[in-house]
Structure 1
């Protein structure tokens, strides 16, 4: 939600803040991807669902009960109906031709009258197009006279008598009545047709004082305003002498004054009892005025809204002083005001319709009352827009930057409360001089914060139980390897195994034989009960033969003494396999009962303890050991000698 300040009045752009003219789809998608990390784009507010058209919008109006919004747009020609309590689109409907303007005849959306660009009037209901009829000439505007139940259509061209016309369509009878004949000058063109020549006059706009005397006003292309009485169907007065064409009209709610807007951007305020204007105001850009609206603020101040295609201005009705202004990024086609609120809606050339909220004009409508709280929270925040060129620093911070000697000697330091405002350029230069590596440090700090944030986001399992905590940690570690840590999954979350982690009777005994069989790599000291893991036999030749050849005898002996004692378990369950590799001479026939206490016939598991020795031996010890005979290997099969020769 973007906020702009014009003086003391804040204008909040609710919808359409970051929009411009329509872009191609591929370029719009690329721009949306680039805005993924934009915090302003992430915190945007979508006031109404699908409050947009594919190309542009033409007109937008709010029902009298403030529950419905109807808007028309292109391309393709269509209109949308939004239900405000739900903040969503109720339905959309396509039409055959472009819509010029429309009116809501009922207090809700159920009856609407549409002026089309192909000289047609269409009556629409929720079921569809109820009826359509053809106009004799092209219409420019559309107003509804509730007292006479007539739809008035100002048109272009001249009738058979040489006057301009305002067609009267009586909705109760269902036929055209005699038109209001308006003086729009003569047609001096050479070629004339149904509408007239290119420079033919027209009745551009109309207004009705329906809350007071019900007087009708019609603005023409020759700069005159004609007033007609709807009861007597006669002309009451003519207001002429205006510069340019009359493009916008609006009565004051009291009916005593009239605001006129011309094609050259001039606005005049008239009292109906005097032909001289009470007030004249130049809107600024010089474009034709599209809308004029009399408004009353929450403090009962009288304001007037004027809009051309470039900007919207709200100014005081008494002195004409500008109160606030809004300048969207795209051209404006129509402006409407939610009565007695601070909400303004615009139909424009951009894809979405724009919504502006002015808290000082009035409170938010009841269908978006949450805007009041949001505006209050934003107003409480300290605004830094007026301090864009300054940095607030305290006295210790000034001393750390070596700027304390400038206090009271230059206007670059401006005292404020407990510190000073320092010019931004001076602050950046002093910061770089005091710490030349500030950029690198800031970058390293951000990288560290990002890494810590990613580490904190990792899922880590942690569950405390009364019994078998090591078993629980083991299960969670397995789950973490599978990247799926859930403290209530599997055995941990099964009610059938609850007592396994609560009852002492189910405590796992790590000294039991079953535990040692299932965990062969775990060694438990029978005296102390301490558990350790055997690292396995390690070779002392890992560093290579070349390294060992350079070492002295003292270093070799020191290595032997420092090596840890290794434990090896040998298990055999087949008694016949003990003599599998023995020679034929040692395979004596055994009869009778076998004595299992002999060392060569042990069945089961036994433990051998040894100290690993280096593969490098001293040369003096190699000769005697080569002559020694081992009785265990003497009878084994040799690869180069036939065993039968030894028998």
Structure 2
């Protein structure tokens, strides 16, 4: 769903993964197999039935941005989508294939369609309104709103040896005198009523709406003729272009015009000069099919051009490539939803494509939910599809002397604020830049191992309800043995769990038995004041406290036993002292 060319992200919000349609039985089986596919589960269906059975030929958006009209094959049909409902409003079949069409109204109520059988059809909401038969086959269709005339560029030569642009006045309901355009001579070996196979033609028509309303006709001999519809006269001719002129488009001011040729070259001309301001080659060698002047949300001027395989958006002032889109299917027509960042395409394959470029503009109001989705995707940097790549920022690339490879190889893929570099290339560049990388990595791992062992010597911590001092004492002894485990020995034995939870097992530090076994322990002075004899005994036994505790380490896990009389309490053996220290209140132990 996400493709990034340079610093401009492009999101595919609608489109197919395969170019050719599948049989019904195979499509159902494939759909069942895709139930566990995360890409299929996360797919967004932008519009209901935004597709055709075979392929689509042309697509346009109404001026009020509430309707999308598209034509396709097979069988030849027209689809009209109502955008506020995100659904197909109606579909209508025709008897022949559609070449191009134009919307005559601000909505989809009236449309004019150029068909492949030398007919022009006028459609309304009620259906097919009128059919007009053309003298010769048409190549392009344009509507002059001021004169209410349909202009159709045709193939072949008229009786006077000129190419013709037919004028059909929709108000009068009849053909007017045609525009005679110089398209050369027909040099074909077999010339019939419609001309030879390679007959010259008027390939493209453009009109400067809302400005001077001049007409531009692109011919098969590489010339562009400019006509004034008010006087119906030719005012200028721009010739000497390579290949045929296949696409034309005026900018909003009418002061410049973009041209596309059959060799895949896009040029921008100032209307006051015959020299191009800049020219750009698509590089694929296919004819340019569509040209569109665009304006971003930040009022930057762009020009979108498309051929069979590629969509390019260039800066209008310099011609520098801003971003590009390369769908997996062949393109037939490309249109821009004005005032937004969405691009729609009619293409080979069942599903029609829709691309969203946030830097070009926001999503249309009928697809406003896409803005929040793209923001979330832009904030997340995922490398699921780049497991064999290493992400590096531009300063890191420069430190490895790899910045000269930017834009020249697929081994460097731009993403967010850096680049994904192929792992093999990264390892080789790092080895060349730093031959001692292996030794540094070895020293780093040794340091990590030492730090891990050092952190294991930190005293553990365990909080219990009763006998907290005893727990701290046991953990301190474990620390001396360089192993701290809060669940080892007595602390982890379930048989002694009540010793640290039940208050009945609370050690009474003021009892005579406790003082006899722990003469060096300092008791809280508020609870009991030690006598002079006890203080003397405590001072004399300070020196031997550590030895007695060390000697009793081996017996810290022994279970407590019930004391039997004063003779057991006064026993001075190490075993007796240790076992008695583990007792809480001897009379409560069972």
Question: What TM-score results when the alignment is normalised by the length of structure 2?
Answer: 0.66
- After TM superposition, list the pairs within 5 Å mapping 1:501-540 onto structure 2: none
Report the alpha carbon displacement of residue 233 of structure 1 after superposing the two structures with TM.
Answer: 0.4
* Cα separation, 2, equivalents of 1:303 and 1:66: 20
* Structure 1 residues 366 and 413, CA gap change in structure 2 (3 angstroms): farther
- What is aligned with 1:271? 270
* Cα separation, 2, equivalents of 1:22 and 1:98: 19
- What is aligned with 2:78? 79
Q: Determine if the alignment matches structure 1 residue 224 to structure 2 residue 223.
A: yes
- What is aligned with 2:35? 36
* Cα separation, 2, equivalents of 1:261 and 1:125: 32
Report the alpha carbon displacement of residue 410 of structure 1 after superposing the two structures with TM.
Answer: 2.3
* Cα separation, 1, equivalents of 2:81 and 2:103: 14
* Cα separation, 2, equivalents of 1:250 and 1:27: 43
- After TM superposition, list the pairs within 5 Å mapping 1:93-112 onto structure 2: 93-112=92-111
- Aligned-partner SS, 1:367: helix
- Aligned-partner SS, 1:40: helix
Could you say what the CA RMSD is over the residues aligned between the two structures, in angstroms? Answer: 2.1
* Cα separation, 2, equivalents of 1:128 and 1:349: 26
* Cα separation, 2, equivalents of 1:370 and 1:146: 35
* Structure 1 residues 412 and 343, CA gap change in structure 2 (3 angstroms): farther
Q: Determine if the alignment matches structure 1 residue 175 to structure 2 residue 202.
A: no
- After TM superposition, list the pairs within 5 Å mapping 1:380-419 onto structure 2: 380-384=379-383, 388-389=387-388, 410=437
- What is aligned with 1:399? none
Native 8 Å contact 2:16 2:352 kept in 1: no
- What is aligned with 2:334? 335
* Cα separation, 1, equivalents of 2:255 and 2:138: 28
- What is aligned with 1:508? none
* Structure 1 residues 413 and 381, CA gap change in structure 2 (3 angstroms): farther
* Cα separation, 2, equivalents of 1:225 and 1:3: 39
- Aligned-partner SS, 1:113: strand
Report the alpha carbon displacement of residue 380 of structure 1 after superposing the two structures with TM.
Answer: 1.6
Q: Deviations over 1:181-232 (max 9, x none)?
A: 0000112234321211122210000000012110000000000000000100
Matched residue count:
402
Report the alpha carbon displacement of residue 412 of structure 1 after superposing the two structures with TM.
Answer: 11
Native 8 Å contact 2:16 2:349 kept in 1: no
Task: Tell which has more relative contact order, 1 or 2 (C-alpha 8 A, sep 6+).
Answer: 2
Native 8 Å contact 2:188 2:196 kept in 1: yes
Bigger Cα displacement from structure 2, 334-343 vs 19-28: 19-28
Any unmatched runs of 5+ in structure 2?
392-430, 446-590
Question: What TM-score results when the alignment is normalised by the length of structure 1?
Answer: 0.60
- What is aligned with 1:378? 377
* Cα separation, 2, equivalents of 1:44 and 1:197: 48
- What is aligned with 1:486? none
- What is aligned with 2:401? none
* Cα separation, 2, equivalents of 1:245 and 1:365: 36
Q: Displaced runs of 4+ in structure 1, greater than 4 A?
A: 406-409, 411-414
* Cα separation, 2, equivalents of 1:257 and 1:412: 63
- What is aligned with 2:251? 252
Q: Determine if the alignment matches structure 1 residue 209 to structure 2 residue 208.
A: yes
- What is aligned with 1:240? 239
Native 8 Å contact 2:14 2:354 kept in 1: yes
* Structure 1 residues 291 and 309, CA gap change in structure 2 (3 angstroms): same
* Cα separation, 2, equivalents of 1:412 and 1:316: 49
- After TM superposition, list the pairs within 5 Å mapping 1:308-319 onto structure 2: 308-319=307-318
- After TM superposition, list the pairs within 5 Å mapping 1:556-635 onto structure 2: none
